[in-house]
């Protein structure tokens, strides 16, 4: 679906089928579903509970495999990859942000951001430099040596965002990243997230129930009749 002028898609899905269970218990969540997300593009995923948002995020995050269809990240067909390569791709090319921060409680903010980089093979010194840059960019440099329990909800979530992008992934996936925050903190965190996506040219798919935040993204998609469709 490239008209020749648009940059190539970071995430491209086509003909995606996902059915849970078998026989009379079979439940089809996605059927011939398709979507492209390009560099620097923020896409909101807004759909009622049970529509398949987590399923879609799990497929895009290579945590589940589709039953049929093609899914490429950065042009690489992920269906053809073995589990080791999928794990590697998840670590390097994909960042995840969840509703709850899932930071490691015994590590401080900087260490939480440095850890995935070290796991990916970066030196500790370089990982700390990158962590400091991200803390600075997200306006929480003064909190670098605070543990998660010493941070506010908004600060925790900003550290979680920094951790998600620490390895400079191509694709950022978020599931209700501000769902646990009060409205004004939610706004702040959302602004930090969008700034980062635009500054780094990431592609982002963000599931949210917050229609106001969704409206501030580049476009909104939903899941209807097992397909991914645009919301105007």
The binding site for ligand ADP (CB under 6 A) comprises 20-21, 27, 29, 47, 49-55
Question: CB 224 → ligand ADP: shortest distance, Å?
Answer: 12
Please say which residue, 54 or 122, places its beta carbon nearer to ligand ADP: 54
Q: Least Å distance between CB 55 and ligand ADP?
A: 3
Is the separation of the CB atoms in 46 and 34 below 8 Å?
no
Residues 125, 134: contact at Cβ < 8 Å? no
Q: Nearest distance from residue 184's CB to ligand ADP, in Å?
A: 26
Question: 52 or 95: whose CB is closer to ligand ADP?
Answer: 52
- Residue with Cβ nearer ligand ADP (47 or 73): 47
User: Burial letters for 42-78: b for 16+ Cβ neighbours within 10 Å, e otherwise?
Assistant: bbbbbbeeebbbbbbbbbbbbeebbeebebbbbeeeb
Any idea what the Cα angle at residue 49 is, between residues 182 and 77, rounded to 5°?
Answer: 100
Output 16 or 192, the one with its CB closest to ligand ADP. Answer: 16
Least CB distance to ligand ADP at residue 37 (A): 18
**CB-nearer residue toward ligand ADP: 52 or 69:** 52
- Minimal distance, residue 46 CB to ligand ADP, in Å: 10
Q: Which residue has the tokens 């939903």?
A: 222
DSSP 66: -
List the one residue out of 232, 230, 228 whose CA is nearest residue 29: 228
DSSP, residue by residue, 212-231: HHHHTSSEEEEEETTEEEEE
């Amino acid at each position: 679906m490239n008209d020749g002028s648009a940059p190539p898609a970071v995430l491209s899905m086509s003909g995606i089928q996902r059915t849970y269970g078998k026989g009379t218990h079979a439940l089809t969540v996605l059927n011939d579903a398709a979507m492209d997300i390009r560099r620097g593009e923020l896409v909101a995923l807004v759909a009622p509970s049970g529509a398949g948002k987590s399923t879609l995020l799990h497929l895009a995050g290579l945590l589940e495999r589709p039953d049929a269809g093609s899914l490429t990240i950065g042009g690489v067909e992920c269906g053809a990859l073995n589990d080791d390569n999928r794990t590697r791709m998840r670590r390097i090319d994909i960042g995840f942000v969840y509703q709850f921060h899932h930071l490691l409680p015994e590590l401080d903010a900087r260490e939480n951001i440095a850890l995935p980089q070290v796991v990916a093979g970066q030196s500790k010194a370089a990982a700390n430099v990158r962590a400091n840059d991200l803390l600075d960019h997200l306006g929480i440099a003064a909190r670098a040596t605070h543990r998660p329990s010493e941070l506010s909800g908004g600060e925790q979530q900003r550290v979680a965002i920094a951790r998600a992008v620490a390895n400079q992934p191509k694709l950022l996936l978020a599931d209700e990243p501000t769902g646990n925050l009060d409205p004004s903190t939610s706004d702040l965190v959302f602004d930090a997230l969008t700034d980062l996506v635009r500054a780094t040219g990431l592609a982002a798919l963000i599931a949210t129930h917050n229609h106001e935040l969704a409206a501030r993204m580049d476009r909104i998609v939903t899941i209807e009749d097992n397909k991914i469709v645009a919301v105007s």
